[in-house]
Every structure is written in structure tokens, then in C-alpha cells.
Structure 1
Amino acid sequence: MRSVFVAGIGVASFACSVASAQEPARTSDAEVLAADDIIVTGRAQRLYRAEETTVGKAAEDPLNIPQALQVINSDLFVDQGARDATDIYRNISGVSFFSYAGVTFRGFRQDQSFYDGQRGNPFIGFSVPQLFNIERVEVLKGPAGLFFGPGSPGGIINYVSKTPSDQAALRTVVTGGNYDRIGISSEATGRIDRDGVVTYRIGGFYESMDPYRRNTQNKSLIGDVGLSIRTNPGGKLTLQATTYDSQLQANRLRGVLVDDAGNFLTSIRWNANERSDFLDLTSTAYQARYATSIGEQVTFDAGARYFKATERQKYHEPRGLSPTNPDLVQREFRDQIRPVDGLSFMANATARVDVLGMEHKFQTGADWYDETSVLQSRILRAGVLPLSLSNPAYGRSDTDAARAAALPYTTTDTRTKRYGVYLQDQISVTDALLLVGGVRYDRFEDGVTTSTAGRVTALSNYRDGDATLRGGAVFKPRQNVSLYASWSQSFEPQAAASQSTDAGGPFAPVTGNQIEGGVKSDLFNGRVQANAAVYRIVRSNILQADPALPPVNGQDQLRPIGKVTSKGFEFDLATDVTPDWVLLVNYGYNDARITGTVAGQSITNAVGDRFANAPRHKVGFWTRYQVAAIDSAFAFGGEHVSSRTSLSGQRVRPYTIFDASITKRLGFAELLLRVDNIFDRVYAASGFTAQSGHFPGEPRTFLAELRTRF
């Protein structure tokens, strides 16, 4: 497998010579400048801006969407040296890190991601999405049920893949840094035939480092290939295949234990895992997308996506402090295999039609998703040695894996199906007023089978359906300013195990309803984009045990009693202060509270009346100034996250960190030098449980990238 990735990098480099041998397409001087020069005067102009988004399943101007959204493009990835999804959260108001690939989104925990508008995240379980083959990240805030079906009311994250281009190009990056970081990546794109009917993209990525946590080593490999075929005027078929291989030694990583005030009890380098522990992910995704225009008024697109992934874990799970010795952390050993595969289809169409003198943009679509997710787990608790916080002695527990192998697997087999259809109408009442209304209906089927040593111990199945609505209005006093108000819905199926008739089921899904208002702007020829939004989300029908009712066949009676209300404000600014100076600032305020519950009972991910890892305040900024006279750019950024609460009610202390970088042009190449956490601040990026501690943030790290592009 590894040789395939290394070969991919070599093939990408070779492909450049093939591309450069073809007759180049005619391009304007501006296009040549953009392709050949990396740092030029004026590059800051509209550098990180998005004039169009597909987060609503069809291409649209963000000013015409009555809901808050953000688009993070590859220019920002490059300038910030971003590697994975966690590197870009600081650029998104209302979003903060929770755990692994999970985030807190407008107060709610959210673990689901979409790729090119479809379900099928190849980074299953406890792996984090990588950005090497991603062109941009689209973030739709608040309930997104109309376009994406069941999901959290906080919002969705959609990763848009890089695709082949008819402009011949090659980009190679060599990476180095502290913690023995070393890596190389290369990607090439261009025409296969003279007329550009068929174009290609091929790329490979490899990086290795020994992070600051004891015993750890991370290796990541990505191979990506794509082919685009122009099938008809205005029509294109794109085929892509991407494979991932992630090897994480001494994982899966938990946190470092803290006291109730949020202070780490030992060095953040501490790790409950032995050097022989690991988390390995192998994953492959295949995708086909077709898009075409039918005349000037109709567009159509369809897609199919299949992925197959397996995550293998053998690791030591911390189980809290020993009751007899506060320096010892109790542990258990877990051997787990997580095979997952998913298949999805979607189709969308838009049509512009004049009715009674008003233009209607009708949009309709359907999607279908089928996933099988299996967890094979065996847990060894007896005879696992504890580990000292102050002086951990590793290597004495390497036999735990062999002892666990004698235990039977407990297998949880989860089958999930989702399919839905939607219709939306966007009405241009006048040039200044847009009205939007839409409806969607979903069906879902969930089944969970649990067995131990081949004997079924639990079986549950549930199917149901639900409708979601969305309405809004956009008023444009000027073409580059929009005021909007909207109401949107989402829903999440209840857990299949909770639908038993003995527990009082079946139950209607958990629902989310949001009211939002805001302003968006694109001023001074795009030099200033300033957006602000206020919102209120109510999440209802959360199941809780009803103490007023007696158990039936040993099961507590559940009722949809729980309710949560999330209120907040967000502000985002992207501006060119001068032609060479760009500034990004985002701020989010959120207050998520439990507003309905059974006395004495809590709600998942909540502590008291508040939610875990939900900061009230979060600020992020990034500014970049280029000096053309010396072919250099200087950047400075930072993030502040206010105090939070962990899942166990322990305090997660607030933190503020800063980063800086210098980019220097060197003829045909450029050099990036970057330092993160400049002042080497010790902080918790997120809280988890008292047994496994808080997730520490990275200490001061250095990154160097030598980039070439042709």
C-alpha cells in the first residue's frame, strides 16, 4: 500500500513533463501572472473571498442565501500551512474543537461531515479529515435539514474536492519541522488531449512526525486521482478515487488528567498508551459526478459516492486515578476493529421560470444513503497495570494484547439507510427582494444487532419519516448588501435501541428549529466582506426516563421531555486594508442551556443546565501583509476560547494563542516558515471526562515548507 502512495507522488511529478509537452491553452496575461507568480503586488485583493458556494446543493451567491455560512478556500489552507480539519476551526465563528473530528457547533456537538454534498466520510471513528485533496470547506450554520437530511441543528461542514483542470500545472511541497516532521507532496493537473475534452489530476501526499505526546508517531499517506470528460457543451463527467493510509502509534490518544479547576496533573506529554499501541486507518473513496446545463435556464447534476474504511485500534484506555494512590492512573486494554462502508446517490436540478412577472428559481433533488458500520470490540480489564503520572514506566504492559486475544469479540452491527426528496422556490419579487421557501421529506431505517462470540444478545430495528421546512426573505438595499431573516428545521432519528415498546416507543425524532436574522455585505468591489448573524435554536423531543411511570419488563419508561435552547451572535470580516494587506476576523457568542428536563436528570453532553465544551466566546483572526519589493509576505494570527466545562463537570480553562509566518519567494519556488503557539502556552483544547482528562493543545511547533509550482 505504501509503495502505491510513493509512486503516486512520483507519477505526479512525471505528469508535469507530459502536461508541459502539450500545446498550452491560450491564457490572458492576468492568468499567466496568477499561475507563475506566487507573491505579487495585489495578491491580497479578494484573496480569501468566495463569490459562489454550493452549500445549498446548487451554485449560488452567498448574499442570496438567508442563512449564515462561511467558505474557507485553499488559498487560506496554503497560507496557514493547514494540514487537517482541526487547523481551520479557528477561522469559523461559532465552531470550536470538541474531540478528534468532532466540533461544538453553535453550542451542539457535531461529528458528521459531507463530501461534495454527499454523505460518506472516509475518516471514520477517531480519524480527522485531511485537506490535501480539498479545494474548499463550506460551512452552513444552523439547521440544514432541507438540503442534507437528518443532522445536528448546529450546522454542517461540506468538503469540496479538488478536480482536474485544463490548465497544465504542477505543485510540489517539501515539509520539515520540529518533532521530526518530514514530508513531501506533489499534485499535477492538465489536459490529456489537445482540445481539453479529457483532463486529469493526480496527487500524492506523505508526512511523518513524532508528536509531543510520549511514544507517539504519526504517518499519513494520501493518493488521489481524477479524470474529467467534457461530454457535451456545458456538461462534464468527473471520476475520482482517493485512498488514505493513516498510521498512528501509541493511539488512540485520550487526554491528560486534570483537577477540578482544569489544571493538568502532570506534563502534557503524558500518554496512557504503550509504544506498541496503535490506531491505523485504511480507507478508499470512489466518486462520480455529472453536471450539465440545459439551455440557459436549467441545470442538472448527479453524483454517486462509495467508500470503504477500516480502523484498527489496540490501545490502553485510562480509567481514572487509583483510589489508593493518586499518582497512579488505572487502565484497561481495548482491541477494536471498525469496518465501515457506505454508498450514496444524489441528483439535483434547478430551473429559472417567469411566473406572473416574477422570476422563480425552482430547485429540487433527491438523495439516498446506505451504510454498514461494525464495531468488533474486546476489552481486557483484569491484570492491566496502572501508569504513574509523575514517572510513567512503559513497556511492562506489552503482553496485554496477547491476553486480550483470548477474549471473544463483542460485535455491534449497525445498518443505516437515509433517503429524501426536497423542493425549494426562490422568488425574485423585485430586484431588491427575494423570498425563499422549501420542504423536504425523509425516510430512515436503523437497525442494530449486538452479539458476543457469535450469539445475538440484542436486536433492534426502527424506521420512520419526517418532514423539514425552510423559509426566508432577503432584502438588498444595494446589490452588494443583503439583509435576511429565516426559519429552518432539522431532525435526528432517535437511537434504535430506544424505540422498544417496553421503553414506551416508538418515538418521533429529535427536532431542531432555528430563527435567524443577519446582514451580509460585499463592499468596495469585494475588498470588504462583513457578515453578522443572530440566532435562536430550540432542540426538542430529547428522550429522558419518566420517573412518574413504573418500569416495564425491567426497562425505564422514556418520554420526549428534554429541550435545549441555544442563542448567539456571530460576526465575520474579511477585508483588504490595503492592496497588500488582508485581515480576517471572526467572533462568536453562544449561550446553550437546557430549558426542559426531568428534575435530577441530565441530557447527553450536558452538565447541569449547560453543554460540555460550549464556550460563550470564541475569537479568531488572521492578517497577512506582503512586501513586493522583497518578494515576501508576513502573517500573524491568533485564537481565544473562553472557559468551558468538560463532560464530567471539570473546568476547561480559557486560552489565547498566537501564530506567525513568513513566506519568501525564491525564483521558481517559495519558502514558508511558520511557528504555532508562539509563547508555548500550556492549554486544553477541549475537555473530556475525569477518567481520561482534557485534550491538551499543541505546544510551540515550527513548520517549514519549500513549494514549487509550474
Structure 2
Amino acid sequence: MTLRTTLMMMQACGALVFSTVIFAENAANNITQDSYLNDGDNKIKDGSNIELQTLQVQGRALSYYKEDEAALATRTSTPIDKTPQSVQVVTEALIEDQAARQITDLYRSISGMSQNNVSTVTLRGFSQDEVLYDGLKGDPFGDFSIPQLFTIEQIQVLKGPSGAAYGAGEPGGVINYVTKKPAYEQKNTLKVSAGNKDFLSGSIESSGPANEDASQRYRLGIYSDGQDSYRNNVEEENRIIDLGYAWDIDENNTLTVQYTDIHQYISGARLRGIPTDDDGNFLADTSWNNNEKSDFQELDAQVFQTRLDHSINSWLDSNFSVRYFNNTETQKYHESKGLNATDSDKVKREFRDQVRSREGITLVGNLIAELGDHTVLVGSDYFHQKNDFLYDKTTKGVAELSLSNPVYGQDDTSAYDMVPQTNESTTTDQIGLYIQDQWKVTDQLDLLAGARIDRIEEKYDGYKIKTGTTKANYKDTGYSTRLGATYRINDNWKPYTSFSTGFVPQGAVDQQKSADGSLFDPEKSQQIEVGIRSYWLNNKLNVNLAAYHINRENILQDDPGDDNYLVSIGKIRSQGMELDVLADITSRWVANVSYAYNDVKVKEAADGVYFANTPYHQLGLWSRYDFPSIDSSIAFGADYVSQQKNRDDQTVKPYTVYDMSWQTRYEDWKFQLNIKNLFDKEYAVSGFTKNIGSFVGERRRVYISAAYDF
């Protein structure tokens, strides 16, 4: 489907929604404007403080999906309009509207982000797999388990290199999950949900004061779900326990402590793709799965986090945070090894037994000084992580699987003759020092300058069947900078520009593959970004436009003269633009639109792998209309992703999917119906390799939920 066709379909659906809501509004015309603008005994004349019960916000519907302030980009509480780099925030309201249970449900609402491999994403043309929680490193979900959103209040995305604030990381950006904290006001919610494919979930959340003056507060959250899948043999279970405690020790000190326990079990997984031809056509029904029902992926994780906020005096504040996590991810699964050379209906398979264990701790301390027109940040962070990986596999006695008529259960997996492949341990230590100045030069002009130095050490001790036992130790230093400016021409036009850099250290094992014994420099990246944030129609329309150019270099490649060695000659350029629109179409109708254009080119050492899952065009829409007379709302969503390529240069077809939702309130109850993939489209969200195929998008899912506040 072409972009033009998709836009026409979106317009047609939009017209349908518009006609529907106009009809409903006329049917409810017994609600006059005066009564609608009534706030108790006082009539509101200008509508500026309208309270829409469905929205539960004051003011325009636009504020429902818009966040004005975020600390992700600067580590200080900063208005987004004064942040000289693209920052996007997915609010709790938008998460609830879309009935999003995991991050993959929200890609349409983040411009420039699309699915890559299992739980990783592509952001501004680069694979992005590292995330933050409350600005701290330590991902409890690891490499292959998809983050769940039960404990999450917001999702924040900083686009482009983030080295000056957070150290080593991919140049596409960084994703930050803001967790739910203990609340000052009591709120208790019991929620149950059901859907097709035997989906069933239940949760309870309670948060509020623990004593009379609310100086001590608590949070308790318990979540559990289970569901089947359109894919053969797949069942999924999630269970999360989330606890929190906050204490205002005195007027200058607040301590917050959190603990989260996570369990995820997926049978018939690690869930891979379906083989395609070179044009992107599936070679099997989208229910096909190369995994047996006895295959599984299981994650157990625990997270402990604490933060102390301390006000030293009227101009100097500090905060100190600790995050500890550990997780174990066990996988036993069949992996596709490509089509049989003599029978194209049969897929060759191998069986893999893998265990990944991770343990890490992050320490962060910041001093924030308000010195007249300067906000100065000085801080340091330390990150320690140990990864253990144990991997056995076999191809002997593993039955092939038909694409047209798969017969499962042919093998006794316990009888497989497993061959040890990998037994390795990698320990990483990173300490960073950073300084930043936010300077209010005039009422219109704000400047930002930041610099950071990181010292990184990686130790590797392990066995691989191809290389035998290896021990390696690598130390390096990385530098990152950022310069930026925002300018307020007036209340309607707020342009900005920035230059930022980042780096990724080379692995300790890769350092052993230098032909002359010298160390490889870290991968380096730099971005130039210009943008403008604009407001129209009395702040009913917010349009953000950003253009960027990113260079990434020092990428390791096989030595053309001897493939036993590596050379640091790779260079990639990514450039594009992003358009994000939030609009109050009427006082009851709000729309959220995100569009991104991205062009990635390998400038040196051409290698098709870097083009994988980098669509030129992405377009996401979410639009909601409220019916105050019946305390309800209806919403419509669309997601378009243009053609992509997998790692073997096979086509991944473009796709468009549509969603809808209905939400209504009755006294203390909220009922919600969500339909995802409204027209039950068969499509691939991304590609991997020719052997493994393309990852299948979710077919039509219907969810209904009831939440009770007490």
C-alpha cells in the first residue's frame, strides 16, 4: 500500500468518525453551552477552566496528550520548549487510551521509532536496545523480554546522541521509563480485562498517605495476565508486584524507595519470524511457528530503587539515587536454519538451550545550583553490570518442519545430544563525571552547554566453541559534549538548534582482533539538529518540526586482507525530519499525529546489515472525541510504516493497521473497549534474516476492561 493510499484511507476513516460524532453531538443537544460551562454555582465565561470528566484534566483537550516539562534531556526539571534537542513524551493518558500493555503498542505515537528485533527498536535509523528507568541504567527485561507498562507512568524519548548526559549509548536516542510513585492523595483501583485468544488480566493498585499529614506515602500494585496467540503453540503469562514508600523526612529531605518483582513466561518461544521470499511474501500461514509447545522463554527479575532529594539551601539542591537489579532469562527453543535445499516446503531446525543472567547496580549523584540566570548541574554516576551467558545447541535428530502442514511433537527434546557452544562472563564498569550550564541569556534566548567524561572497563572470561577459552581486559575513556540554544520569537514560534556527540566502546573481545595489537577507538557519533516548536489558534494546535543529520564512525568491519582480524573503517550517515502535531480540532476532539522521514546511508565499508528495519516513512495517528453528556469517548488510531529491508536485503512490505477504542464512565467505574488491528491485516512489522524470516504483526485483538476506583 502506498503512502498516498494510506493517507486517503486515513482521511476517509476520519470523515466517518467525524460524521459519527456530529450525529451523536446533535443527539445530545439538550446539554446547553451554559450548563456545559457550569462549575458548581459559578458559570465559566471563557471556558479556560472546563473540566471534562472523561479527560479528568483542566483546560483544553490538547493538554490531555501533552507534557510541558521533562528532566530526561538535562537531568534538571526543564520546560520542553527550552530544551534544545527533540524530546517526546507519551503521557499516562495516552497509554491508557490505547490500552497499551507493552512498549510495542506505542510505536505509532513516537516519531522515528519502529520495531527492530524482538524487544529492540530502530530510532532515527539506528538499533536501540538500551533503556533507562527514572534516568537510571538497569533494564530488568534484558535482551528478549518485552517491557510491560503496568508500573510505568510516562515514556520519554530523547532523540539523538545522549552522551553528554548519560554516557555511552547508541546515537539514535535513549528511552526513559518513568515509574509510578507513591501519591499524596488516596487512590485505589481494581481492574479486570478480557479479550479474544483467551486473554484475561487482573490488577489492583493502591497509593496514598500512610499517616495523617501525608508525610509518609505508599504504593502497592499487583498485576497478572495470561493469553494465547494467533501463532501456533504460543501462550504468555505475566506477573508483576510493585511496591513503593515515600517519606518527607523534613521540609528539605524526601526519601523514595521502590521494589518490583517481575515474572514472564512465554511458551512456544523465543518467538521468531516466518520465512519470506525476496519480495516479502510469507511462505507460510501467519499462524506458523518453528517452535514446539514445549519450547519456552522465562524471565524472573527483581529491582530495588531508592532516591534521596535534599534541599541544601535556597539556591542549591541535590539528589542521590541507587538502582539494583538482577534477572535470569531462560530459553529453550527451536531455531529455523533455512529451507531444505531439495524440498522448499521443509524448514531445517536446530535446538538451543540458553541461560542469560544479569546483575547490576547504578549510583547517581547530582548537585543543582540556581545562580541567577544560570542553572548549573554537576554530577557523577557509576554503573556496574555482570552478564553470564550459557549456551548449548544441536542439529542432530531435530526434525524438519513443513511450512504448509506443520506437524509438531515429532521429537523428544530431552533426548537431544546437546553440544556446548558458549560459557562466558562479561563484567562492565563505567564511571562518568559531567557538568552542564543552562544560561538564560535574555527573556527570549536560552543556551545550554554540557560536557562529560567516562572511564569504562570491560572484563571478559569465557569459552566459545569456535575460539576456545579467551580472557580479555579492556579500558578506555570517552568524551561527550553538547551545545544548544532555544529562542522564543513570541508565544507562537520557538526555534532551537543543537550539536551533540556520543560514543560506544568497542568490546573487550573485539579488541583482541587488531592486526597490529593497537586498541580500536570507540565508535563515535555526532548530530546536528534544528527544530521549531510552534503554537497556533490560541494554543489549540501544537506543531513540532525537527531536522537532523547524524554521523557514526569507527565501526568495526572484517579486515579485507584477513577476515581473522577487524578494522575500524565503518561509517554511517543518517538524516531526516520528524513532524509531531497535537491539535484541538474542537473543544471535545483531540488528535495526535507523528510523521518521520529517515534516510540511512553506509558511507564507508558498505554492508547491507545497517539498512535493516529503517523505513523511509512512518506515520502514526491517534484521535479522540469526547461525549460529556454520556461521560464517554471514542478514539481512532492508524499506523503506517513504509517498505523496509532485512539483514539479507529481502523486502519487508509496507503496512497500515487501524485501531479503535470506546471508553465510558459510570460513577466510580470506567469501562473500555479496544480493537487493535481493526481489519485483521496480515503483515510483518520488521525483518531479520532469510533463514529466520520476518516478524509477524499481531492480528486482530479485542480487549474489554472494567476499572473500579474506591
State the TM-score, normalizing by the size of structure 2: 0.90
Q: Indicate yes or no: 2:529 matched with 1:521.
A: no
- C-alpha contact 1:53 1:60 (8 A) present in aligned 2: yes
**Take 2:684 and 2:195, find their aligned partners in 1: how far apart are those partners?**
23
- Corresponding residue SS for 1:503: coil
Q: Indicate yes or no: 2:594 matched with 1:581.
A: no
Which residue matches 1:568? 576
* Aligned-residue offset at 1:44: 2.6
**Take 1:43 and 1:172, find their aligned partners in 2: how far apart are those partners?**
29
Which residue matches 2:142? 124
Which residue matches 1:152? 170
* Aligned-residue offset at 1:410: 2.7
* Aligned-residue offset at 1:676: 0.9
Gaps of 5+ in 1: 1-28
After superposition, the Cα gap between the structure-2 partners of 1:375 and 1:525, relative to the gap in structure 1 and judged at 3 Å, is farther
Aligned partner letter, 1:396: Q
* Aligned-residue offset at 1:292: 2.9
Q: 1:51 aligned to 68, 71, 80, which one?
A: 68
Aligned partner letter, 2:607: S
Which residue matches 1:11? none
After superposition, the Cα gap between the structure-2 partners of 1:314 and 1:292, relative to the gap in structure 1 and judged at 3 Å, is same
Q: 2:242 aligned to 224, 227, 234, which one?
A: 224
* Aligned-residue offset at 1:500: 1.8
Which residue matches 1:271? 289
**Take 1:375 and 1:100, find their aligned partners in 2: how far apart are those partners?**
19
Aligned partner letter, 1:422: Y
**Take 1:35 and 1:568, find their aligned partners in 2: how far apart are those partners?**
38
1:609-624 correspondence to structure 2 within 5 Å: 611-624=611-624
- C-alpha contact 1:287 1:303 (8 A) present in aligned 2: yes
How many aligned residue pairs are there? 661
Which residue matches 1:705? 705
After superposition, the Cα gap between the structure-2 partners of 1:185 and 1:334, relative to the gap in structure 1 and judged at 3 Å, is same
Aligned partner letter, 1:580: R
Residues 107-151 of structure 1: per-residue CA shift (max 9 Å, x gap): 111111111111100001200111101110110000000111100
Residues 361-405 of structure 1: per-residue CA shift (max 9 Å, x gap): 1112111000001110100111111000001001112x224424x
Q: 1:382 aligned to 381, 389, 396, which one?
A: 396
Residues 38-90 of structure 1: per-residue CA shift (max 9 Å, x gap): 66896735101111101021111001110001011111111110000111111
- Corresponding residue SS for 1:264: coil
**Take 1:69 and 1:37, find their aligned partners in 2: how far apart are those partners?**
27
* Aligned-residue offset at 1:469: 0.8
- Corresponding residue SS for 1:499: helix
Q: 1:440 aligned to 443, 452, 470, which one?
A: 452
- C-alpha contact 2:101 2:148 (8 A) present in aligned 1: yes
After superposition, the Cα gap between the structure-2 partners of 1:201 and 1:266, relative to the gap in structure 1 and judged at 3 Å, is same
**Take 1:360 and 1:41, find their aligned partners in 2: how far apart are those partners?**
32
**Take 1:622 and 1:363, find their aligned partners in 2: how far apart are those partners?**
37
* Aligned-residue offset at 1:480: 5.6
Gaps of 5+ in 2: 1-41
Q: 1:169 aligned to 174, 187, 190, which one?
A: 187
**Take 1:473 and 1:622, find their aligned partners in 2: how far apart are those partners?**
31
- C-alpha contact 1:257 1:693 (8 A) present in aligned 2: yes
Residues 1-45 of structure 1: per-residue CA shift (max 9 Å, x gap): xxxxxxxxxxxxxxxxxxxxxxxxxxxx99x99898766896735
Runs of 4+ aligned residues of structure 1 deviating over 6 Å after TM superposition are 32-43
Which residue matches 1:258? 276
1:469-488 correspondence to structure 2 within 5 Å: 469-479=481-491, 481-488=493-500
After superposition, the Cα gap between the structure-2 partners of 1:528 and 1:348, relative to the gap in structure 1 and judged at 3 Å, is farther
Which residue matches 1:672? 672
For the aligned residue pairs, the C-alpha RMSD in angstroms reads 2.1
Q: Indicate yes or no: 2:660 matched with 1:657.
A: no
Residues 498-538 of structure 1: per-residue CA shift (max 9 Å, x gap): 21265343111000000000011355665332211000000
After superposition, the Cα gap between the structure-2 partners of 1:457 and 1:491, relative to the gap in structure 1 and judged at 3 Å, is same
Which residue matches 1:297? 315
Aligned partner letter, 2:244: G
Q: Indicate yes or no: 2:434 matched with 1:422.
A: yes
* Aligned-residue offset at 1:571: 0.6
* Aligned-residue offset at 1:352: 1.7
**Take 1:77 and 1:134, find their aligned partners in 2: how far apart are those partners?**
9
1:478-557 correspondence to structure 2 within 5 Å: 478-479=490-491, 481-500=493-512, 502-504=514-516, 505-522=518-535, 526-547=539-560, 551=562, 555-556=564-565
- Corresponding residue SS for 1:77: helix
1:183-262 correspondence to structure 2 within 5 Å: 183-262=201-280
- C-alpha contact 2:290 2:401 (8 A) present in aligned 1: yes
Aligned partner letter, 1:703: Y
Aligned partner letter, 1:646: N
Which residue matches 2:478? 466
**Take 1:360 and 1:533, find their aligned partners in 2: how far apart are those partners?**
26
Aligned partner letter, 1:54: A
After superposition, the Cα gap between the structure-2 partners of 1:625 and 1:37, relative to the gap in structure 1 and judged at 3 Å, is closer
After superposition, the Cα gap between the structure-2 partners of 1:234 and 1:138, relative to the gap in structure 1 and judged at 3 Å, is farther
Aligned partner letter, 1:563: K
- C-alpha contact 1:502 1:555 (8 A) present in aligned 2: no
**Take 2:442 and 2:228, find their aligned partners in 1: how far apart are those partners?**
59
Which residue matches 2:366? 348
Aligned partner letter, 1:521: S
Aligned partner letter, 1:53: A
Identical-pair percentage: 39
- Corresponding residue SS for 1:78: helix
1:6-45 correspondence to structure 2 within 5 Å: 44-45=61-62
- Corresponding residue SS for 1:341: strand
**Take 1:277 and 1:673, find their aligned partners in 2: how far apart are those partners?**
33
* Aligned-residue offset at 1:197: 1.2
Residues 184-219 of structure 1: per-residue CA shift (max 9 Å, x gap): 011010111101111000000011000110011000
Residues 207-250 of structure 1: per-residue CA shift (max 9 Å, x gap): 10001100110000000000000022143110000010001001
**Take 1:98 and 1:188, find their aligned partners in 2: how far apart are those partners?**
36
- C-alpha contact 2:671 2:705 (8 A) present in aligned 1: yes
Q: Indicate yes or no: 2:692 matched with 1:692.
A: yes
Q: 2:607 aligned to 585, 602, 610, which one?
A: 602
- C-alpha contact 1:41 1:628 (8 A) present in aligned 2: no
- Corresponding residue SS for 2:287: coil
Which residue matches 1:634? 634
Q: 2:92 aligned to 61, 74, 80, which one?
A: 74
Which residue matches 1:457? 469
* Aligned-residue offset at 1:426: 1.4
Aligned partner letter, 2:523: V
Q: Indicate yes or no: 2:366 matched with 1:360.
A: no
Q: 2:423 aligned to 411, 426, 430, which one?
A: 411
